[in-house]
């Protein structure tokens, strides 16, 4: 069911990279969306100026880091009250990549 949501969210048959960097399919042949694309989609939906949102992934020795850059006025919308919004985004990304053993951190740049 979760893969059905991702397929609808990211357009079905397109080849998207998953946590390992290469496209991967489930047992039923559905493709998973990349965590970077997911974070970009969520970030653009939350801010007032989505055209200024830039998402980059940096590979590190022990995992990857997804960096979100946006307009300074929109940083608070990404972080949320008491950091709850960014914590939720981090939880979703971490849980989506947990089975593959990859560690992905999500950071908001100032």
pLDDT at 105 over 50: yes
104-108 and 63-69: which strand pairing?
parallel
CA angle centred on 62, ends 84 and 55, rounded to 5°: 50
- Residue range 50-67, pLDDT digits in tens: 999 999 999 988 889 999
Range 7-33 average pLDDT? 50
Q: Tell me what the pLDDT averaged over the chain comes to.
A: 80
Name the strands in the sheet holding 104-108, side by side, starting at the edge strand that comes first in the sequence. 54-60, 63-69, 104-108
Least-confidence region, from 12-21, 27-36, 86-95 = 12-21
% of the chain at pLDDT higher than 70: 71
Range 35-56 average pLDDT? 94
Residues whose CB falls within 8 Å of the CB of residue 60, separated by 6 or more in sequence, listed in order: none
* Whole-number pLDDT of residue 19: 47
Least-confidence region, from 29-33, 73-77, 91-95 = 29-33
| CA-wise closest residue to 37 among 66, 13, 58 | 66
- Per CATH, the homologous superfamily of domain 34-108 is K homology (KH) domain (3.30.300.20)
Per-residue burial over 31-40, b if 16 or more Cβ lie within 10 Å, else e, is: bbbbbbbbbb
Higher pLDDT among residues 21 and 75, named by residue: 75
Other Cβ atoms less than 10 A from the Cβ of 6: the count is: 20
The domain locations on the chain are 34-108
């Amino acid at each position: 069911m979760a893969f059905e949501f991702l397929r609808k969210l990211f357009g079905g048959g397109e080849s998207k990279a998953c946590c390992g960097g290469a496209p991967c399919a489930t047992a039923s042949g559905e493709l998973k969306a990349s965590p970077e694309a997911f974070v970009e989609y969520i970030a653009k939906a939350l801010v007032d100026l989505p055209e200024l949102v830039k998402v980059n992934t940096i590979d590190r020795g022990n995992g990857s880091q997804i960096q979100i850059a946006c307009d300074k006025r929109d940083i608070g919308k990404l972080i949320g009250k008491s950091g709850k919004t960014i914590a939720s985004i981090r939880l979703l990304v971490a849980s989506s990549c947990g089975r593959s053993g990859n560690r992905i951190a999500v950071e908001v740049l100032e």
